[in-house]
Structure 1
Amino acid sequence: MTSLTPLYLRLAAEQKSAEVTDWPARISWVVGLLVFIAFVYWLMRQGWKWRGSLQSDLPELPARPEGFAGGGEALTLTGRYHASTTAGQWLDRIVARGLGTRSRVELTLTDQGLDVVRPGAADFFVPAAALRGARLDQGIAGKVLPEGGLLIITWAHGDRLIDSGFRSDHSAEHAAWVEAVDQLTSTTEGTAR
């Protein structure tokens, strides 16, 4: 380098990294870190299984009825299923019966109820009488979005109220879904009396 080269460049060119001379110590640190990471993942898996065992009293999810007609007055939505939680407790994730598995989703709402088709995960059906309402929200266990980014549908299953969170590929559809579910729940409540 010439004498016109700035001092910091000359110093940087002269400095070299020290060669690794203690390979066993380096390898033991890397192995120790990998064992620690594996242990943390094992603990997370055990926590997931423990949560599932605590929720084992949740009844089987209803399947789509034989005579389900998805056509006609059906409202459909394609998007993502994010999670189901205990109603009103957006961080209390339900993992039993496959409700903890995120997936793509195809929703169909008719006067018979809500059909939830999840490729790669367990499908389920919510009868119209079990629907309790819908709202727009910003978060559910594991997912937080801008205000109104999630469609939350509340439904009854066994003795529990459950909030299930969905996000449409076209979020402008959310408002129509809230209106349709609320209208369906008001008509089913009126006929139940």
Structure 2
Amino acid sequence: MTREGALLLMVAIALVLLALMAWGWYRRTRRDAAPLTSVHDLPAEATVSGRYDGLYVATTRQDEPLERIAAPGLGYRSRADIIVADTGIALDIPGQQRLVIPAERIADVAQATVAIDRVVEKDGLVRVTWRTDLGTRVDTYLRARDASATALADSIRPLIHDSRTGSAA
């Protein structure tokens, strides 16, 4: 095989791989086209208990930290303002509609080290497990830049909803 032939073969393989990746992402965005929640603002009477400058890392299926959900506004890691209120968590991601996770849908808050393409120091991420509009459980990973992950997790923890009693834990 000539040098030019080998180069053409490598370029063809690269183009096929790129096309397959684009096709896979297209299928994933089609699968996850529905918004995870229809709530887009905190109630006017909500009491804000914390504001954090941070990063939205990813949303994945519960206990599947490598299975990214590409719902509208949540497909990519981004800077985010995280607002914790008594009625839920609001994520303001630049260029996207505000995402609100209502307090009654929050099932668990924990700290994590790995989420998809992000590995940080031990327990450097906050994992919020919650139910979508369709009842699916997902994990949303956040990282505070102006506070510790423990402080962010501790401010969210009082919102955990106990489905057995119907009240905050």
TM-score, normalization by structure 2: 0.82
Structure 2 letter corresponding to 1:168? A
Mapped partners of 1:189, 1:170: distance in 2? 35
Cα deviation code 1:74-128 (max 9, x no counterpart): 2111121111011112122111223222111110001121110001344311111
Match of 1:17?
Answer: none
Match of 1:128?
Answer: 103
Aligned residues of 2:67 and 2:116 also touching (Cα < 8 A) = yes
Aligned residues of 2:104 and 2:161 also touching (Cα < 8 A) = no
Match of 2:16?
Answer: 39
Write out aligned runs for 1:29-178 (5 A).
Answer: 29-56=6-33, 59-65=36-42, 67=44, 73-157=48-132, 158-170=134-146, 172=148, 174-178=149-153
Mapped partners of 2:26, 2:45: distance in 1? 34
Aligned residues of 1:129 and 1:189 also touching (Cα < 8 A) = no
Aligned residues of 2:49 and 2:155 also touching (Cα < 8 A) = no
Mapped partners of 2:162, 2:37: distance in 1? 26
Cα deviation code 1:33-53 (max 9, x no counterpart): 333223212211111122233
Aligned residues of 1:98 and 1:121 also touching (Cα < 8 A) = yes
Mapped partners of 1:186, 1:68: distance in 2? 19
Count how many residue pairs are aligned between Structure 1 and Structure 2.
167
TM-score, normalization by structure 1: 0.73
Structure 1 letter corresponding to 2:67? D
Mapped partners of 2:77, 2:152: distance in 1? 20
Which structure is higher in RCO with an 8 Å CA cutoff and minimum separation 6?
Answer: 2
Match of 1:11?
Answer: none
CA-based RMSD of the aligned residues comes to 2.9
Change (3 A) 1:60 1:32: farther
Aligned residues of 1:94 and 1:100 also touching (Cα < 8 A) = yes
Greater fraction helix: 1
Q: State the identity %.
A: 22
What is the deviation of 1:171? 5.3
Mapped partners of 1:150, 1:78: distance in 2? 14
Greater fraction strand: 2
Change (3 A) 1:144 1:45: same
Structure 1: gaps (5+ residues): 1-24
Mapped partners of 2:36, 2:126: distance in 1? 24
Structure 2: gaps (5+ residues): none
Moved runs in structure 1, 4+ residues, more than 4 A? 56-61, 186-191
Aligned residues of 1:113 and 1:126 also touching (Cα < 8 A) = yes
Mapped partners of 1:98, 1:91: distance in 2? 18
